[in-house]
Structure 1
Amino acid sequence: MPKILIVEDDENIRQLLKLTLQSYQYDLVDFDNGQDAYDYLTKEVVDLAILDVMLPGMNGYDILKYIRSIPRLKDIPVLILSAKDKELDKIMGLDLGADDYLTKPFSVLELAARIRSLLRRSKKDEKIIQIDKLFIDLDKRIVKIDDKSVELTFKEFELLKYLAKNPGRAIPREELINQVWGYDFIGESRTLDVHVNSLRKKLGSDYNNCIQSVRQVGYRFVAGEQNA
């Protein structure tokens, strides 16, 4: 379930966005100011961000600049949603790294279509995940550490793939089981723990801490500076 960040200070528009996107089964997190959104992004990752330009605290362009400057965030699709409809405003947003720009007032159906398009494009481009010396080829199902192959079972690879594609996020156990084993899985939930332990061992001492347990929730994948 893609997680979408909404940063919009107009309460009515923010509620409209939430109602619209919830109907498409997206996981949403929203803020009415730029500073709180920035603080959230220093710790978490989302699949797409919708940013208003004129915000209290930090403006949307500042948040966009931050997203594009951080390796773990830089590939997130960003949609600017703004009342600023001048051509120069649109050019500025796109030049700063926005993937799309929609002016207010807007059609909720057009907004939803643009979001679906951005999410599809981002998933198509995400074929390789590389974190320091850890290399994951999603198409060829190859995992390497420091150019040495790591042999994983089918389920171990699926588990690592889903965790690595959602870095920094505390993923509930049920979601992991549904994504890796399927919604009709009727086995024991401990199956997940067994596979996590096996995966940690195969990743070795340099990367086994990338998969962190989150008490009463599930697991989180962290890397780089977060894994220190």
Structure 2
Amino acid sequence: MTVQTVSQSKGWILIVEDDPSLLCMIKGNLEQRGYRVNTAPSGEDACRFLEVSRPDAVILDWMLPGMSGLEICRFIRQKAALRDVPILFLTARSDECDVIQSLDTGADDHLVKPCSMDTLDARLRALLRRHRVSNKKLVFANLSLDPETHRVERDHVLLSLGPTEYRILDVLMRHPRKVFSREDLLKRVWGENVHVEPRTIDVHIRRLRKAINQSEQVDLVRTVRSAGYALDDGALGH
């Protein structure tokens, strides 16, 4: 099928929400703020829409009839034509483990409802700005990352990264050799207002190292004690 695209001054948004009154309220408010909005009351409806359309961003509830929000998120990330579409979870699930799970599944942001429309609008604008940054292929040493296809290669060998590891690598490759503290990476990868323990970064850095550093290859992720992490082709020990 041909993927439809629509240019809009503020963006074309798909809202996936099974509460009719909430869906109507969010849709009306976003339209008043200059967005074009389509809606889907279930995961199945959302997937049918996404098979032929490519919105600028998706607002996604977690608990839906049939397919869950996590399943829809995976569906989007597995589609070549959709995998870079920003996904914002708007859900009542507020535990830290839920936030981490949604982000690890591939979401870009996690907002707990109820929330103000000003907050939702600000998060959407931030996501759309971030994803409108240049999609130029990034290269560092023998490592490459293509934002358009989400392909990561080292020595022309395709690597498999989880969604969070991919986003961390994207940050590091856009600023090679710059040292990022855990707090910096948390803000850039998870957003300003998502509460995640700083040590969570260490877990994802270990996974990233395992994914990009094969046997006998130089470890490209440098640990700077008491400071953070950097992408550095001179990283040799930790």
2:70 paired residue number? 61
* Greater helix fraction, Structure 1 or Structure 2: 1
1:86 aligns with 2:95: yes
Measure the CA separation in 1 of the matches of 2:33 and 2:114. Answer: 21
**How many Å apart are 1:25 and its aligned residue?**
1.4
Q: Secondary structure at the match of 2:89?
A: strand
Q: Find the residue that maps to 2:131 and give its secondary structure.
A: helix
Q: Equivalent residue for 2:43?
A: 34
Match of 2:107 in 1: 98
For residue 20 of structure 1, the aligned residue among 29, 36, 54 is 29
* From 6, 14, 20, the counterpart of 1:5: 14
CA deviation vs aligned residue, 1:17-67 (integer Å, no higher than 9, x gap): 111110121111101111010111111111100000001121111110011
Stretch deviating more after TM superposition (37-46 or 94-103): 37-46
Residues of 2 paired with 1:56 and 1:44: CA distance? 22
Q: Helix, strand or coil: the match of 2:38?
A: strand
**Structure 2: which 5+ residue stretches go unaligned?**
1-7, 138-238
Q: How many angstroms apart in 1 are the aligned matches of 2:134 and 2:109?
A: 17
Amino acid at match of 1:51: L
Quote the offset at 1:125 in angstroms: 3.6
Q: What residue number does 2:154 align with?
A: none
- The yes-or-no answer on 1:75 pairing with 2:93 is no
Amino acid in the other structure paired with 1:63: I
Q: What is the CA–CA distance in structure 2 between the aligned matches of 1:3 and 1:126, rounded to whole Å? A: 19
Aligned-residue CA RMSD (Å): 1.1
* Aligned equivalents of 1:64, 1:13: Cα separation in 2: 20
Query: Which AA in structure 1 matches 2:89?
Result: I
**Unaligned stretches of 5+ in structure 1?**
129-228
1:1-228 pair list within 5 angstroms: 1=8, 2-127=11-136
SS at match of 1:124: coil
Q: What is the alpha-carbon distance in structure 2 between the residues aligned to residue 10 and residue 127 of structure 1?
A: 39
In the other structure, the counterpart of 2:147 is none
The whole-number CA distance in structure 1 between the counterparts of 2:116 and 2:107 is 19
Which amino acid letter does the alignment assign opposite residue 126 of structure 1?
N
Structure 2 residue matching 1:88: 3-state secondary structure: helix
Q: CA deviation at 1:127?
A: 4.7
CA shift at 1:120, angstroms? 0.7
SS in 2 for 1:50: strand
Whole-Å Cα distance in 1 between the matches of residues 43 and 90 of structure 2?
14
CA distance in 1, matches of 2:136, 2:19: 37
DSSP-derived class of the 2:37 partner: strand
Matched to 1:23, the amino acid is Q
User: Given residue 64 of structure 2, which amino acid in structure 1 is its aligned partner?
Assistant: L
